[in-house]
């Protein structure tokens, strides 16, 4: 892989904070840390447009004893089957379930799916994490 070199100027205080941050995260160089920050920013920008293809996960915690929550979640998932690759379900406690849904497709469609799942009564917490296939 070829790389282009660029120069970056920092105020001394900011550079000290950055060096502590990247050391704590285990980066071997400033360059790799900066590349990761740029990649993240580019991915987030592309995803925010809502039109690109993404892959990701929806992680949910819900109370399966809440009236009809399981049926409602399954109904939403079946209606969005084109965006769902797989699901993993575990019992976190007697009442609480954790479900991880692997998703793919257009960012706006996956966001709509996630928002629909989050809005179901009985869902305690849900979070969508997206990235691009072509990082």
Question: Buried b vs exposed e over 42-62: b needs ≥16 C-beta within 10 Å?
Answer: ebeebbeeeebebbbbbbbeb
Q: What is the pTM of this model?
A: 0.83
67-102, pLDDT tens digit by residue?
999 999 999 999 999 999 999 999 999 999 999 999
CA distance 130 to 124: 20
Interhelix angle 69-79/107-118, rounded to 10 degrees, is 170
Spans of the chain below 70 pLDDT: none
The strand ranges marked E within 4-122 are 53-63, 84-91, 96-106
CA distance 19 to 57: 31
Domains of the chain and any CATH numbers:
12-48 (1.10.1220), 53-131 (3.30.70.1150)
Contact by Cβ (8 Å): 103, 113: yes
Report the SS3 class of residue 4.
coil
């Amino acid at each position: 892989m070829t790389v282009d070199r660029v120069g970056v100027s920092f105020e001394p205080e900011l550079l000290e904070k950055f060096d502590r941050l990247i050391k704590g995260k285990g980066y071997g160089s400033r360059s790799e840390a900066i590349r990761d920050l740029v990649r993240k920013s580019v991915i987030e920008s592309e995803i925010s447009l809502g039109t690109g293809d993404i892959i990701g996960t929806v992680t949910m915690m819900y109370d399966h004893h809440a009236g009809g929550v399981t049926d409602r979640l399954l109904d939403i998932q079946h209606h969005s089957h084109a965006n769902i690759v797989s699901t993993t379900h575990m019992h976190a406690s007697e009442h609480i379930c954790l479900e991880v849904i692997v998703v793919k497709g257009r960012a706006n469609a996956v966001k709509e799916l996630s928002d629909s799942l989050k809005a179901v009564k009985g869902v305690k917490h849900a979070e969508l994490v997206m990235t691009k296939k072509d990082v």
